[in-house]
Amino acid sequence: MLKVVLDTNILASATISQKGNPAKILALWRQQKFELIVTEKIMQEAWRVLFYPRVREISVLSTQEVTNLLLRLHNSATFIPTTLDLNVIEKDPTDDKYIIAALEGQADYIVSGDKHLLELASYQNIRIVSPGKFVEILEEYD
């Protein structure tokens, strides 16, 4: 089974629209089509971002549905303790948490809409792909 790290922007996008690739990715995760790797830092960011007022204003999910999603992620994703300290994404060092999670969780992919990560394209055999590309990969993999 593929191991995957999702950027928080994928989660946020999935709460804003139920029709796009980020929502498809979450649906495929719920169907156990891939293993989701998370860390404490990623979960902390997800809780913060998904409850930003500007995200809540445009979200199609209720506050309770967002809470349920985050609890499901917390309870069903594979939690990886992190010990690495890397400086890979110089333009946005906060993105390094995804690289660290992927390395320590031995992930196959990082899925992101973030240009700094996407520009990197891969890191130590971990592919960094857009949501659309990842949906294609899962369709081929299945």
The pLDDT of residue 54 is 95
The pLDDT of residue 95 is 85
Our count of domains for the chain comes to 1
58, two tokens: 């445009």
Q: What is the CATH number of the domain that holds 94?
A: 3.40.50.1010
Break the chain down into helix, strand, coil percent, rounded to 5: 55, 15, 30
The pLDDT of residue 142 is 66
The pLDDT of residue 116 is 87
The pLDDT of residue 90 is 73
Q: Interior CA angle at 95 toward 60 and 71, to 5°?
A: 40
The pLDDT of residue 102 is 96
Mean pLDDT per segment of 10 residues, for the chain of length 142 residues? Answer: 97 95 96 96 97 96 96 95 77 84 97 92 96 95 71
51, two tokens: 């409850």
- Structural domain span for residue 76: 3-141
